[in-house]
């Protein structure tokens, strides 16, 4: 059939749409900026691969200096291991014995892989212990702290110390502390973000101190995302940061700022085609099946005078902001428009590959190998 995957060297105009696109120069600039900031702050960079789910991106991040990656699910780790990545933190608790068994299989199949996993409950540790008993390659176990998200993680100091002690008692390696404040990533006001991370650091420092008083060494303190990474990096407390969206950038993260270290370029877009026209309005062939919208409407890349007014299952409606805008940018039937997703993670998860482009030509097609791996 004629639904062929895009080919290197094609022009963007030849693409069928919707098509998920990555602008190579913006992407490279984002990767380099983040790596430089981390180097300057003296923290390790462990980018979160849940944002891109693409082994080729993880390889590029590691080539530039990242120590490894995070993933959020055990199944998600597998395509990255297959692509040769050997240092992976599953920054989450494992739900149920089947996931612990899957982790055991990965540790067995990749005996040189260093895999970390989080806990916040004795039962998770017991299931993990039972699954990996007798293996040569054991997971590092991190104790997750609830530092303001109100979701997973130990809620008080005693529970955190208890869990760390239990990891050691079980003969497993304590990997350190996972402390991520997800909500703070999206606070628009920089002062609020600063206050939130100050409070996070106070809490994490208390746990570390309590552990050290019991002669329990904390080899790593890890967390942070694109919205606050510079604060954790400058804390003198965190040993590594886990930003993910910075590589791609969506509308939501572009709305925070204005600090220069938060400015990344929109590398990720969704190529769409005008499929229906009427005065002042165009309908694009892109909808909720190729772009998530729970964080709001997408933006328009490089198209002034038009705005997105609605998105539904299979359509996106844009309107001209003035008569002049429509004359300047007439967008006839068949014209290609680049949308900027409002939330990159669930948008990437809808696509099988990422079309990389530079100077109007396709430079690579990268499989989104972890798409749909949510178990």
Least distance in Å: CB of 92 to a copy of itself?
Answer: 7
Out of 198, 304, 312, 322, the only residue in the binding site for a copy of itself (CB under 8 A) is 312
Helices (H), the chain: 24-41, 55-63, 74-82, 97-109, 122-132, 157-169, 190-213, 229-233, 251-254, 323-328, 344-348
* Contact call for residue 299 and a copy of itself (CB under 8 A): no
Q: Are 319 and 303 in contact (CB under 8 A)?
A: no
Q: Are 339 and 295 in contact (CB under 8 A)?
A: no
Least distance in Å: CB of 313 to a copy of itself?
Answer: 5
* Contact call for residue 359 and a copy of itself (CB under 8 A): no
Least distance in Å: CB of 280 to a copy of itself?
Answer: 12
- Map residue 32 onto helix, strand or coil: helix
Out of 11, 276, 304, 321, the only residue in the binding site for a copy of itself (CB under 8 A) is 276
* Contact call for residue 313 and a copy of itself (CB under 8 A): yes
Residues 6+ apart with CB under 8 A from 58: 47, 49, 52, 66, 69, 80, 83, 85
For residues 296-315, one letter each, b for 16 or more C-beta atoms within 10 angstroms of the residue's C-beta and e for the rest, the string is: bbbbbbebebbebeebeeeb
DSSP at 259: S
Out of 11, 206, 321, 352, the only residue in the binding site for a copy of itself (CB under 8 A) is 352
* Contact call for residue 5 and a copy of itself (CB under 8 A): no
Least distance in Å: CB of 73 to a copy of itself?
Answer: 7
Number of chain residues interacting with a copy of itself (CB under 8 A): 71
Rounded distance, CA 373 to CA 375, Å?
6
- What residues between 107 and 136 interact with a copy of itself by CB under 8 A? 109, 120-121, 123-124
Out of 116, 287, 299, 341, the only residue in the binding site for a copy of itself (CB under 8 A) is 287
- What residues between 142 and 161 interact with a copy of itself by CB under 8 A? 151-153, 155
Out of 8, 257, 334, 361, the only residue in the binding site for a copy of itself (CB under 8 A) is 334
Out of 240, 273, 298, 300, the only residue in the binding site for a copy of itself (CB under 8 A) is 273
- What residues between 14 and 33 interact with a copy of itself by CB under 8 A? 14, 16-19
Least distance in Å: CB of 243 to a copy of itself?
Answer: 14
Phi, psi of 340 (to 5 degrees): -105, 120
Residue with tokens 């703070």: 184
Out of 278, 302, 359, 360, the only residue in the binding site for a copy of itself (CB under 8 A) is 278
Record the tokens describing residue 363, joined without a space. Answer: 């430079």
* Contact call for residue 226 and a copy of itself (CB under 8 A): no
Classify residue 214 by burial, with Cβ atoms within 10 Å: 0-12, 13-18, 19+.
exposed
| x/- map, 59-98, a copy of itself, by CB under 8 A | -------------xx-x--x-------------xxxxxxx
Phi, psi of 184 (to 5 degrees): -60, -25
């Amino acid at each position: 059939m004629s639904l062929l995957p895009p080919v290197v060297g094609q022009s963007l105009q030849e693409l069928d749409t919707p098509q998920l696109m990555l602008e190579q120069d913006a992407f490279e600039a984002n990767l380099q900026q983040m790596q430089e900031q981390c180097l300057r702050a003296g923290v390790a960079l462990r980018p979160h691969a849940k944002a891109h789910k693409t082994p080729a991106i993880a390889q590029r991040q590691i080539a530039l200096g990242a120590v490894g990656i995070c993933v959020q699910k055990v199944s998600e780790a597998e395509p990255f291991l297959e692509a040769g990545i050997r240092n992976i933190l599953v920054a989450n608790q494992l739900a149920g014995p089947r996931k612990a068994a899957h982790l055991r299989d990965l540790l067995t199949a990749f005996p040189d892989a260093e895999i970390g996993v989080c806990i916040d409950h004795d039962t998770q540790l017991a299931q993990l212990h039972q699954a990996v008993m007798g293996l040569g390659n054991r997971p590092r176990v991190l104790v997750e702290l609830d530092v303001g998200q109100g979701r997973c993680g130990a809620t008080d100091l005693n529970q955190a110390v208890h869990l760390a002690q239990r990891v050691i008692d079980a003969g497993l390696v304590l990997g350190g502390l996972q402390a991520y404040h997800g909500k703070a990533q999206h606070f628009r006001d920089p002062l609020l973000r600063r206050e939130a991370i100050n409070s996070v650091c106070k809490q994490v420092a208390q746990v570390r101190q309590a552990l050290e008083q019991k002669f329990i060494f904390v080899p790593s303190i890890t967390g942070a995302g694109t919205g606050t990474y510079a604060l954790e990096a400058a804390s003198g407390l965190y040993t590594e940061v886990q930003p993910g969206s910075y590589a791609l950038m969506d509308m939501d993260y572009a709305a925070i700022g204005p600090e220069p270290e938060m400015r990344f370029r929109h590398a990720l877009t969704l190529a769409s085609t005008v499929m229906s026209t009427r005065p002042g309005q165009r309908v694009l062939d892109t909808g909720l099946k190729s772009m998530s919208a729970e964080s709001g409407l997408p933006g328009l890349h490089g198209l002034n005078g038009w705005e997105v007014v609605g998105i539904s299952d299979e359509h996106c409606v844009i309107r001209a902001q003035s008569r002049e805008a429509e004359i300047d940018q007439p967008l006839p039937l068949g014209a290609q428009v680049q949308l900027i997703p409002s939330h990159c993670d669930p948008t990437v998860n809808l696509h099988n590959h990422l079309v990389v482009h530079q100077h109007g030509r396709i430079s690579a097609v990268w499989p989104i190998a972890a798409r749909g791996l949510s178990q």
